[in-house]
Amino acid sequence: MDSSTRGPAGHDAEDIASAKERGWSDLAPIDDAYQAGEITATEWHAAVLDVIEPAYLNGDNPRAQSGHSGDDTRWREARSLIVDLLPSPGGTFLDIGCANGHLMESLTEWAVEVGITIEPYGVEISAALADLARTRCPQWAGRIWTANAMGWKPPHRFDAVRTGLDYVPADLRGAYVAHLLDQVVAPGGRLIIGVYNEERDRSTTADLLRSCGYTPAGTTARDHRHPKIQYKGLWVANAE
Ligand SMILES: C[S@@+](CC[C@H](N)C(=O)[O-])C[C@H]1O[C@@H](n2cnc3c(N)ncnc32)[C@H](O)[C@@H]1O
């Protein structure tokens, strides 16, 4: 989804790019059209959804319906580091881009293992995926909304909010973070960015946040199958 982080040509660079961006390569032409001024931000969101919604809905397991191609072990390797970024002893947690709700389920279980209790909520730009999440997780049906998180004002704010920066076009990422901190994250709460795949020796995402005026308060990382890549996440503290 993030064409701005695509590496230079070359075998190793292609390997790294593919490990970082598995599943998102169809999105480069959409980013290009947006950057060229050929489509608006609203059209960018619609075009991205046209690519990912059918792919997720056709997934034959809960991970695939959340955009992950691995088995349960890999799902845990790729996502459980978010627990490191949660406040202790817990609180409300909003998964922006909750897809079929599988991360809401998994994170709730993984957090309990380390003594953290979260109350999960979700928001999803795809009405069909949000419906799927409500069907799969009927106990949380009343706390899963359909909305574009960019501009969305929830009925209440959350102690921890997770998102990807690539859920908006590249030039809107600073404004997206500002919106989430102003309207979605509770005062004193945490905005969690991740999980994203990044070169072990780079800090592109943290640097992007710093360039927008936000200093990460905490970071985490785990090894990826590709030796030069790590799964990473970070959080930004909201003002009290
Ligand atoms: C890779 S999946 C993440 C699934 C799960 N939350 C996880 O982290 O494994 C990204 C989801 O975010 C949704 N999404 C992307 N942009 C969004 C936005 N601006 N507002 C709400 N949802 C968005 C997509 O439709 C997709 O279901």
> What CATH number is associated with residue 185?
3.40.50.150
How many CA atoms does the CB half-sphere of 215 hold within 13 Å?
A: 2
In a domain, 221, yes or no: yes
In a domain, 6, yes or no: no
DSSP 33: H
**Model pTM score:** 0.94
Higher pLDDT, 9 or 39: 39
Q: Which of 54, 10, 1 is nearest to 32 (CA)?
A: 1
The structural domain count of the chain equals: 1
**Quick one: pLDDT band at residue 90, thresholds 50, 70, 90?**
very high
Cα(27) to centroid(ligand 1), Å: 14
Average pLDDT, the chain: 92
Tokens 């969305």 locate to: 152
Residue 161 in contact with ligand 1 by CB distance below 6 A: no
Query: What mean pLDDT comes out for the span 94-114?
Result: 98
What angle do the packed helices 102-113 and 72-79 form, to 10 degrees? 70
Cα–Cα distance between 111 and 94 in angstroms, integer? 14
Cα–Cα distance between 155 and 125 in angstroms, integer? 17
How would you class 73 by CB atoms within 10 Å of its CB: exposed for 0-12, middle for 13-18, buried for 19 or more? exposed
Above 80 in pLDDT, residue 227? Answer: yes
In a domain, 139, yes or no: yes
In a domain, 98, yes or no: yes
Residue 26, pLDDT score: 81
Residue 2, pLDDT score: 34
In a domain, 12, yes or no: no
Above 70 in pLDDT, residue 235? Answer: yes
Above 50 in pLDDT, residue 84? Answer: yes
Q: Tens digit of pLDDT for each residue in 5-30?
A: 333 344 566 666 666 554 556 899 99
Query: What percentage of residues in the chain have a pLDDT greater than 70?
Result: 90
Residue 194 in contact with ligand 1 by CB distance below 6 A: no
Query: What mean pLDDT comes out for the span 101-106?
Result: 98
Whether the CB-CB separation of 95 and 68 falls below 8 Å is answered with no
Query: What mean pLDDT comes out for the span 130-142?
Result: 98
Buried b (16+ CB within 10 A) or exposed e, 103-137: bbbbbbebbeeeebebebbbbbbbeebbbbbbebb
Whether the CB-CB separation of 107 and 78 falls below 8 Å is answered with no
In a domain, 167, yes or no: yes
Cα–Cα distance between 46 and 167 in angstroms, integer? 12
Domain that holds residue 87: 70-237
In a domain, 99, yes or no: yes
In a domain, 55, yes or no: no
Give, in order, the Cα–Cα distances in Å from 195 to each of 41, 42, 139, 226.
Answer: 23, 25, 25, 16
Cα(104) to centroid(ligand 1), Å: 12
Cα(162) to centroid(ligand 1), Å: 10
Residues in a beta bridge with 190 = 160, 237
Ligand 1 atom at minimum distance from 52 CA: 25
